[in-house]
């Protein structure tokens, strides 16, 4: 069965500190990996994606993510957190053997305190 | 403005009363999809469509129907809603396979 895990329901960081939101996956084939962000009462917004190539991908708002094939992980990172980064973050995966299917993690609430 | 719209945004209904949630996109995207979002479960894919008249089941299709008669529209139909379909529903579109998706604002459905 295909699955995406976000092991932390909530991550708390102080403004200016680095942040990491974790994601691991178990899907068929070579996956396509995404991060989305959801602000209160809004739809999801695309942040970044990994298809192939460099394991470190950069996205919107200063976020980046590191793909680790051996650990089947795709952790979201930012060097210096902002209060405005506080939101719900979702990892999403497309299996390499079915590009029509999207699998989402359960989400991680990021709280950035001033 | 490029966007995905959904209507209604909020809906309270009773068990068994058929309803339709509309979804429309103005980006000429081929791929569209419906999700439900439940606390602790993230988003789960209900149905998707690769193009006009081409639809297929996602992970949780039971109790739902869809149609894709025009490229821009992808309505979600609940023929006989039940309380376990109370959820937050999102429609999304993307320009093609394995591409990033653009999400609508969501429809909060309550079935009593």
**DSSP letter string, A82-96:** -GGG-EEEEEEEE-T
Q: Region B66-93: what's the mean pLDDT? A: 97
B108 pLDDT higher than 90 = yes
A41: pLDDT strictly greater than 90: no
- Could you give the C-alpha distances from B74 to A81, B5, B55, in angstroms and in order? 38, 11, 10
Q: How far is A104 from chain B (nearest CA, A)?
A: 6
Give how far A90 is from chain B: nearest CA, Å. Answer: 8
Instruction: Give B50's contacts in chain A (Cβ within 8 Å).
Output: 100
Question: Per-residue pLDDT for B99 more than 90?
Answer: no
> What are the chain A neighbours of B41 within 8 Å (beta carbons)?
106
Query: In angstroms, rounded to a whole number, what is the distance separating the alpha carbons of residues A110 and A8?
Result: 10
- In this prediction, residue B17 carries a pLDDT of 97
* pLDDT band with cut points at 50, 70 and 90 for residue B86: very high
Q: How confident is the model at residue A96, as a pLDDT?
A: 87
Average pLDDT, integer, range A50-66: 94
Determine the pLDDT at residue A97: 87
What confidence score (pLDDT) does residue B40 get? 87
Choose from A44, A91, A93 for mutation: most chain B CBs within 10 A.
A44
Q: Per-residue confidence at A28, pLDDT binned at 50, 70, 90?
A: confident
């Amino acid at each position: 069965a295909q699955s995406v895990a976000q092991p932390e329901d909530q991550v708390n960081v102080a403004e200016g500190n680095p942040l990491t939101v974790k994601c691991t996956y178990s899907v068929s084939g070579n996956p396509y990996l995404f991060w989305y962000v959801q602000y209160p009462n809004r739809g999801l917004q695309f942040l970044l994606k990994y298809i192939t190539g460099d394991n470190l991908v950069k996205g919107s708002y200063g976020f980046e993510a590191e793909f680790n094939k051996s650990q089947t992980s795709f952790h979201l990172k930012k060097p210096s957190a902002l209060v405005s980064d506080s939101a719900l973050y979702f990892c999403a995966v497309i299996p390499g053997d079915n590009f029509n299917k999207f699998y989402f993690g359960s989400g991680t609430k990021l709280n950035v305190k001033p | 403005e490029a966007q995905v719209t959904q209507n209604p945004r909020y809906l309270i209904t009773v068990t068994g009363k058929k309803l339709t949630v509309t979804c429309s996109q103005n980006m000429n995207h081929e791929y569209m999809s419906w999700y439900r979002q439940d606390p602790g479960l993230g988003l789960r894919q209900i149905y998707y469509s690769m193009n006009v008249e081409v639809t297929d089941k996602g992970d949780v299709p039971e109790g739902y129907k869809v149609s894709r008669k025009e490229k821009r529209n992808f309505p979600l139909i609940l023929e006989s809603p039940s309380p376990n379909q109370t959820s937050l529903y999102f429609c999304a579109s993307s320009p093609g396979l394995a591409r990033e998706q653009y999400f609508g604002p969501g429809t909060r459905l309550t079935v009593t």
